[in-house]
Amino acid sequence: MAWLSEFHPDGAGEMLHHPLRTGRTFSGSRMNRSNEVVLYRSFKELSQHEVEGQGYRIRIEVRDPRVLIMAPHGGKIEPMTAEISEAIAGGDFSFYNFEGLKTDGNSVLHIESHLFDEPRGLKVVEKADVVITVHGQMDQKDEFVMMGGLHTDLRLEIERQLQAAGFQTRLPTEGLMGTDPLNICNRGRRGQGVQLEASRKVRDLLKRDGDRLRVFAKAVRRAIGAKGEVISRGKAD
């Protein structure tokens, strides 16, 4: 069963820990007979129903390809994840953002991380030594970040740096551990990456406070540098 999404008036989607029955139909979203949102299972399927530039957009900036910061559910799918991704990338790391643009029903664009197969995204992922993905967890009460993925050393260093910068971290819950080898964060050349799940409350904080966003991004960049993932011309801060 897929992790489905909650709809918000602004068209945004947030990941829940249970299948969603909405009880209502939103334009632009696909519902089955039980009023459950039906997510696209592949980019091929998505592209048969959605128009690039209208329903979604893809933004890529390739610098040094070995470090990739990625928001596969950006825009109105999981708000602020694309902005966080770009802040971490700064001016030297590559980034890739897949962003929902629909007026509503953006949750349908959420291709699960182990199924994510957008061709341009796969191309930059496969060239990267390390991939860090930024996702949105829906908790609106507490500010925290959960770290998953198979790159244990880097994951723990990001956790340490974020804590030192004043951010709360938690262990990932079931379904958000990012340990599937097919998870897009683990499909770089080393087969190990990191998945960041930022709660809605911490993303709201970073949206309204640019200084805290910069502190957050610098903490993650320091962690990358501390683990030797930065090339000689890259800087951790």
pLDDT at site 100: 98
Query: How far is the C-alpha of 69 from the C-alpha of 88, rounded, in Å?
Result: 7
Hey, where are the domains in the chain? 5-226
Question: Predicted confidence band at 86 (pLDDT cuts at 50, 70, 90)?
Answer: very high
pLDDT digits (tens, 9 = 90+) for 105-115: 999 999 999 99
Phi, psi of 166 (to 5 degrees): 95, 15
Q: Is 177 helix (H, G, I), strand (E, B) or coil?
A: coil
Whether 32 shows a pLDDT value over 90: the answer reads: no
pLDDT digits (tens, 9 = 90+) for 179-194: 999 999 999 999 999 9
pLDDT at site 231: 36
User: Residue 106 carries which side chain, given as an amino acid letter?
Assistant: N
pTM of the model: 0.85
Q: What's the whole-number mean pLDDT along residues 209-225?
A: 97
Query: How far is the C-alpha of 193 from the C-alpha of 215, rounded, in Å?
Result: 22
pLDDT at site 64: 83
Question: Predicted confidence band at 38 (pLDDT cuts at 50, 70, 90)?
Answer: confident
Rg (CA), the chain: 17
Phi, psi of 40 (to 5 degrees): -65, 140
Q: Contact 220/193 with Cβ under 8 angstroms? A: no
Q: What's the whole-number mean pLDDT along residues 133-161?
A: 96
Considering only CA atoms, which of 236, 212, 235 is closest in space to residue 223? 236
pLDDT at site 128: 96
Burial (CB count within 10 angstroms: exposed 0-12, middle 13-18, buried 19+), residue 139: middle
pLDDT at site 16: 44
Query: How far is the C-alpha of 91 from the C-alpha of 16, rounded, in Å?
Result: 33
CATH for 5-226 is: 3.40.630.100
pLDDT at site 7: 34
Query: How far is the C-alpha of 54 from the C-alpha of 19, rounded, in Å?
Result: 27
Q: Is 81 helix (H, G, I), strand (E, B) or coil?
A: helix
Mean pLDDT of the chain: 86
Q: Contact 5/14 with Cβ under 8 angstroms? A: yes
DSSP state of 55: T
Q: Contact 110/87 with Cβ under 8 angstroms? A: no
